[in-house]
Structure 1
Amino acid sequence: MEEYVGDLWHKFITRSARRDYPDAIVHLEDIEKTAGVLFRALGGDPGLRVAAAAEVEHGARRRWLARIAHVEDRVAQATRDAETLNLPPSLSLFPERAANRDLYLWLIAQAAATGRATGDWLVANQQATLFTLQRYPGFESRYRRLVEACLALRIAPEKLPKDEAAVELAIRQALKEPGSVGPLPTSRRPPQPVPMWLYPSPAQIDRRTRPDDAQADAQDPDDAHGKTVDANKKRQQATREDMPDGRDGFILPFRAESLVSWAEYVKVNRGLDEDPEEDAAKAAPDMDKLAIARDGKTIASRVRFDLDLPSAAADDIPLQSGILLPEWDWKKRILKKDQCRLDLLDARDAPPIEVPERLRKPVRKVRQQLEALAPSRRWFKNQPDGSELDVDACVRAWSDRRAGHAENDFGNYLKLERHERDMACLVLADLSLSTDAWVSDHERVIDVIRDSLMLFSEALGATGDRFALYGFSSLRRENIRFHQIKTFEEKHGAPTRGRIAALKPGYYTRMGAAIRYASRILEKQPNALRLMLILSDGKPNDLDQYDSRYGIEDTRMSLIEARNAGLRPFCVTIDKEGEGYLPHLFGPAGFTVIRKPEELPARLPMLYAQLTAM
């Protein structure tokens, strides 16, 4: 009975204390596409990734009812750093859904202008506000409505202590008249959160690999099919900590993860696979910040072994080793020479095969559809000489003479000539470890890529176009594996099919280096149209700093270099989150996202037909 009454009281007091409007909620995913388009249209950094912000404890004064109900002590603040724009995962502050959506749009406008602002966070937000309102006057009415709505949610200055009241008055003045307030006066408590402003980005995990645990950053292939506990769908703040050494007198000599509720410590790389410790996942949502450490025990050792390179006897045959390639440093804005080392490989165990039985029917269908693209003979009109008269041209010439006009200079003959497309296509397939993921109960991403290459190569054989097939993966910049499947000079047949069937998942996705080397190959082709078709299942990443904006910007620069060389890159991806970064890399018309991976084999030839239509 006591628990029942307590549960009723908790629901009542929580419902009474909360001041949000669930019926008017707007989720970040609802405006994800609009956010990206608006941010770039307002001049924002196109390389920034939009993500959901983590909830943090703000420490500001709350209403007495909120303190009793233990609510409103945490808030997801909008932040921006060099790589990410973090926005609240959802907004329900106002009773009108349109107002919550307007708040998202205003935060995006603030983020686009904040890159030009300087000073502390209060001054920077005012500068960003002034810039946005001056350059885009259409935001003025929306801004004023949001200011009035936000002020109504705040505790009045007269209800606050003197020092907090001074800060609150300054914030209100800054909202009403941007640019009129300097740094905030000091107070014992932080000010109440301002939902219309961007806050300083919190400290993030140092993602640079340390020498002693470099290999531990790698994903364990064996864990790909293991049990994964989703601790919380919300983003969590985290700090990197060293493992406790047991010398601290306040730490008892037993497993540290048992102290989660006290020390806010979660052991990530645990030594025993059979001990999943689900209590840690349950405790994570209640933590303000996670402390992450590595202990270097069994799991790290196994990952280091699994991701070690195969022996020369078991590895693919190296055709050329030590090919040096540059890499773009987006912070220094320079192209670093000879930063990457690439090896050109040929499959060791790839016996020639025929088209698999399950693909023969799709192959026949695609061949029939693409036969229309094959070179054919066509009539050319208005020619100065030819095998037949151009009746239309003759009638126009006679009419012009009767009307007193000068005779035209066009020819009056038809000529039948062979019309061929002058093009070459290079297909570059991502063979990273992520392609080992399952897309259905019986098929992995790598299986989809194999089928796509098999079907695509058979279709191109029907058109007569020149094409080449390559794949790539990487393990840091000194080991980029570039797999040769079919060259432009080689005729497609059973050996090519055998190499396609032998493809297997590799390591990571250092895409910039692979694109640069593929560009070298494609640049040598004499054709007028040179298409580079990139198949990928995710964004660029590797063990070092490449798994960040560094990789995005290096890939983008490699694509710019390819376009400047007269090549036409196009990306086909099955990454559902690709629309967040692909426009920055390939442009709005330079990519397509396939929602169902199993549709890739059938859609790839059709995409090729659209890209090469003349």
Structure 2
Amino acid sequence: MEESVGLLWHRLITRAAGGHFPKAAVRLKDIEKVAGVFFRALGGDPGLRVAAATADAHGARRSLLQRLAGADERLARGRMDISTLRLPPEIDALPERSLNRDLYLWLAALAAGHADGDADTDAAVDAALPPPPQGQIDVEASRELRENQRATLRALKRWPGIEARYRRLVDAVIAQRRPPSKLPPAEAERETLLRQAMHAPGSVAALPALPLKAKPAQPVLLWLSDFRSKDVSGLTGSGSGAEAAEGGNSRPGRDASEQAHRVERQENAPEKHGMIIPFRAESLLSVAEFIKVKRSTDDDPDDNAADAAANLEHLSITRDNERVASKVRFDLDLPSAAEDDVVLGEGIPLPEWDYRKNLLREDHVRLIELSAAAHDPRAAPCPLPEPLRRTARRLHRQFAALTPGRRWLKAQGDGSELDVDAVVRAATDRASGHHPSDQLYLSLEKRERDLACLALADLSLSTDAWVSSEARVIDVIRDSLLLFGEALMATGDRFALCGFSSVKRSNVRFHRLKDFDQRFDDRARGRIMAIKPGYYTRLGAAIRHATSILDKQSAARRILLILSDGKPNDLDLYDGRYGIEDTRVAIVEARGRGIVPFCVTIDREGASYLPHLFGPAGFAVIRQPDELPARLPMFYAQLTR
């Protein structure tokens, strides 16, 4: 009864507090793709992904009902960092759904306007700004004010078509703000300046400092809270800080509404050793030996850790002197020479793109080719597994239809048989006094598909995850390669099968499972059955080497088919934006050599970064990983149609 009454009271007081329009709400996950396309179409950085922003405490003045309801204490505002454009997970502050949707698009345009700033516009804005007010100013708030006015003017100048929507948004946003007449004088002055800056961007130079007991102004929904690109890569051992704070590599099941955290560097505080007061330990009363008590340890998982982290406004990370590598070394150690695959050659130096320096680092990566040892029992020749044979027979029949048959070519100068129709026409022409044709033969010609395909599979440690109660990702990839080989045997196309993983830039492992000049037989199937997950995903180096292999094929069309389960990542800073940009440059290099790259992934977040890598039609996301073995050959059929 108490819970029911409390829930009813919460609903009533929250509704009475106002400030929100649930029926007009627009969620980020519903407009994420549209906002991303709009942002990039306006010239925004294509390497930035769109994600949800945090809800931060703003400290602005609230009404009595809002304080009673505990509402509007925090507000999610858009911001832009080094790798992400963060937008509110939901906008319901305006009374019309179209206005809330336009607010999302305006924030995307504002971010694009800031990223595409020019010195002339900045100089014009600075020249038009009035002198700052007398006395002290609020430096942080004035910086935000100035940057948002600049970005607004750039957006309205470059894209005049959005000005009408901007004016509608200004009127709607101001209508929801507390009027200056209901504020103390110092706060009313700041609110008046903010309204002026929204109506006439570039007309306000700075905001005066607030008295001690005054509260900050209500956040402006039309503005981004932060334009700075914060690089906190030094906080963790690898990867950018923003990515590390969000949990590193992507994982299936995350949606756009999941909140991230602001990251800040904190110095490791020295331990404080207090004075030890002597006492008699036997004087302590203890009943632990008489009661069954579960004594917790530092290694016990905290069931409420995710909820506690979600309530944090800032996630502080610091370095200490503890060594934790030994806890995971058993997963990262390379196998011994006796257990490892056979190394082919001394290693291949490859370049790598550093987007931060806009530089291609020559011979920065060392790639090692590997092949399963002949004496390895795991790679022993074996037939196709029984559960896959039915699907293989079906694919064989379907792909056999792609094989071109023979056909007779009429009226040829040479051939195996006479063309009766051509002979009759020649005799008629001769009898009527015309010059007869000498194309009198039929020729039986067999057309062949001039194709070469290399399937490149991700064998990183993330493929050890389970996709169902019966199979892991690596099992799905193994079955996909086996069925892919069976399907291409029916067409007669040339193909190669490879896999890759990496441990830093000095050890990119490239497994040769089947070469172009090898048959797809029981020995190739044995090598595929022996693959196992391990290490990381340095995708750019693997694509460059696969490109060099395909470049040696003389086929008219060459296809690079990539199987992956997540973003590029490795230990030595090859994570986040760095890995994505290097992979993108490798793909551009492959296209420059006439190779068609196509990616098939089971990463549910793939749609957020794969268009930047492969283009809108260069990838496919499979929601059900267990469908990959049957669907992979179909993707190939569509590519070669």
Q: Does the pair score TM above 0.5?
A: yes
Separation in 2 of the partners of 1:562 and 1:4? 63
Distance 1:305 1:243, change over 3 A: farther
Q: Deviations over 1:263-312 (max 9, x none)?
A: xxxxxxx9843x11335444333322233456676864211332122222
Distance 1:68 1:376, change over 3 A: same
Alignment of 1:266-277 (within 5 A): 272-273=298-299, 275-277=300-302
Q: Please tell me the residue identity of whatever aligns with 1:564.
A: G
Separation in 1 of the partners of 2:316 and 2:47? 29
Q: Deviations over 1:481-506 (max 9, x none)?
A: 11111111111111110111111111
Separation in 1 of the partners of 2:438 and 2:81? 63
- Residue number in structure 2 paired with 1:533: 561
Native 8 Å contact 1:79 1:87 kept in 2: yes
- Residue number in structure 2 paired with 1:207: 233
Separation in 2 of the partners of 1:477 and 1:378? 52
- Residue number in structure 1 paired with 2:165: 142
- Residue number in structure 1 paired with 2:138: none
Native 8 Å contact 1:271 1:299 kept in 2: no
Distance 1:162 1:209, change over 3 A: closer
Q: Please tell me the residue identity of whatever aligns with 1:105.
A: L
Q: Please tell me the residue identity of whatever aligns with 1:284.
A: A
- Residue number in structure 2 paired with 1:330: 355
Higher mean alpha-carbon deviation, 58-67 vs 203-212, is at 203-212
Distance 1:271 1:309, change over 3 A: farther
Alignment of 1:107-118 (within 5 A): 107-117=107-117
Native 8 Å contact 1:379 1:416 kept in 2: yes
Q: 1:235 aligns with which of 245, 254, 260?
A: 260
- Residue number in structure 2 paired with 1:351: 380
Q: Please tell me the residue identity of whatever aligns with 1:167.
A: R
Distance 1:410 1:451, change over 3 A: farther
Alignment pair present for 1:598 and 2:626: yes
SS for the counterpart of 2:368 is: strand
Separation in 2 of the partners of 1:11 and 1:339? 60
Distance 1:382 1:83, change over 3 A: farther
Native 8 Å contact 2:395 2:487 kept in 1: yes
Q: 1:362 aligns with which of 384, 391, 406?
A: 391
Q: Please tell me the residue identity of whatever aligns with 1:591.
A: F
Separation in 2 of the partners of 1:390 and 1:116? 71
Native 8 Å contact 2:460 2:535 kept in 1: yes
Alignment of 1:170-249 (within 5 A): 170-188=193-211, 189-201=215-227, 206-208=232-234, 233-241=258-266, 244-247=269-272
Native 8 Å contact 1:422 1:527 kept in 2: yes
Alignment pair present for 1:611 and 2:639: yes
Separation in 2 of the partners of 1:551 and 1:11? 47
Native 8 Å contact 2:43 2:116 kept in 1: no
Alignment of 1:209-608 (within 5 A): 233-241=258-266, 244-247=269-272, 272-273=298-299, 275-293=300-318, 300-348=325-373, 349=376, 350-380=379-409, 415-608=443-636
Native 8 Å contact 2:196 2:203 kept in 1: yes
Native 8 Å contact 2:238 2:571 kept in 1: no
Distance 1:379 1:247, change over 3 A: farther
- Residue number in structure 1 paired with 2:92: 92
Number of residue pairs the alignment of both structures matches: 575
- Residue number in structure 2 paired with 1:122: 145
- Residue number in structure 1 paired with 2:279: none
Q: Please tell me the residue identity of whatever aligns with 1:437.
A: A
Distance 1:416 1:6, change over 3 A: closer
- Residue number in structure 2 paired with 1:151: 174
Q: Please tell me the residue identity of whatever aligns with 2:35.
A: A
Native 8 Å contact 2:82 2:231 kept in 1: no
Distance 1:296 1:479, change over 3 A: farther
Separation in 2 of the partners of 1:47 and 1:581? 8
Higher mean alpha-carbon deviation, 164-173 vs 477-486, is at 164-173
Give 1:75 shift. Answer: 1.1
Q: Deviations over 1:446-494 (max 9, x none)?
A: 1110000000011111111111111111122122111111111111111
SS for the counterpart of 1:277 is: coil
Give 1:22 shift. Answer: 1.9
Higher mean alpha-carbon deviation, 325-334 vs 54-63, is at 54-63
C-alpha root-mean-square deviation of aligned residues, in Å? Answer: 3.7
Separation in 1 of the partners of 2:635 and 2:305? 47
Native 8 Å contact 2:80 2:229 kept in 1: no
Give 1:33 shift. Answer: 1.8
Native 8 Å contact 1:470 1:486 kept in 2: yes
Native 8 Å contact 1:209 1:544 kept in 2: no
Distance 1:280 1:612, change over 3 A: closer
Give 1:242 shift. Answer: 5.3
Q: Please tell me the residue identity of whatever aligns with 1:513.
A: A
- Residue number in structure 1 paired with 2:15: 15
Q: Deviations over 1:506-541 (max 9, x none)?
A: 111111011011111111111111111101111111
SS for the counterpart of 2:523 is: helix
Separation in 1 of the partners of 2:326 and 2:2? 51
Separation in 1 of the partners of 2:601 and 2:540? 16
Native 8 Å contact 1:537 1:574 kept in 2: yes
- Residue number in structure 2 paired with 1:101: 101
Alignment of 1:30-49 (within 5 A): 30-49=30-49
Unaligned runs of at least 5 residues, structure 2: 123-142, 245-249, 276-295, 429-434
SS for the counterpart of 2:474 is: helix
Q: Deviations over 1:52-89 (max 9, x none)?
A: 11111122333343234332121111011231100101
SS for the counterpart of 2:560 is: strand
Q: Please tell me the residue identity of whatever aligns with 2:220.
A: V
Structure having greater relative contact order (Cα 8 Å, sep ≥ 6): 2
Unaligned runs of at least 5 residues, structure 1: 219-223, 251-269, 399-406
SS for the counterpart of 1:129 is: helix
Native 8 Å contact 1:76 1:89 kept in 2: yes
User: Between Structure 1 and Structure 2, whose CA radius of gyration is higher?
Assistant: 2
Separation in 2 of the partners of 1:518 and 1:194? 50
Q: Deviations over 1:13-53 (max 9, x none)?
A: 33322421222221111012212221222222111111111
Distance 1:211 1:459, change over 3 A: closer
- Residue number in structure 1 paired with 2:156: 133
Native 8 Å contact 1:205 1:239 kept in 2: no
Give 1:127 shift. Answer: 3.0
Native 8 Å contact 1:167 1:186 kept in 2: no
TM-score normalised by length of structure 2: 0.81
- Residue number in structure 2 paired with 1:264: none
Distance 1:248 1:560, change over 3 A: farther
Higher mean alpha-carbon deviation, 180-189 vs 530-539, is at 180-189
Separation in 1 of the partners of 2:274 and 2:186? 40
Native 8 Å contact 1:353 1:498 kept in 2: yes
Native 8 Å contact 1:55 1:235 kept in 2: no
Distance 1:424 1:4, change over 3 A: closer
Give 1:156 shift. Answer: 1.4
SS for the counterpart of 1:138 is: helix
Native 8 Å contact 1:556 1:586 kept in 2: yes
SS for the counterpart of 2:513 is: strand
Separation in 2 of the partners of 1:595 and 1:609? 20
Give 1:410 shift. Answer: 14
Separation in 2 of the partners of 1:582 and 1:283? 32
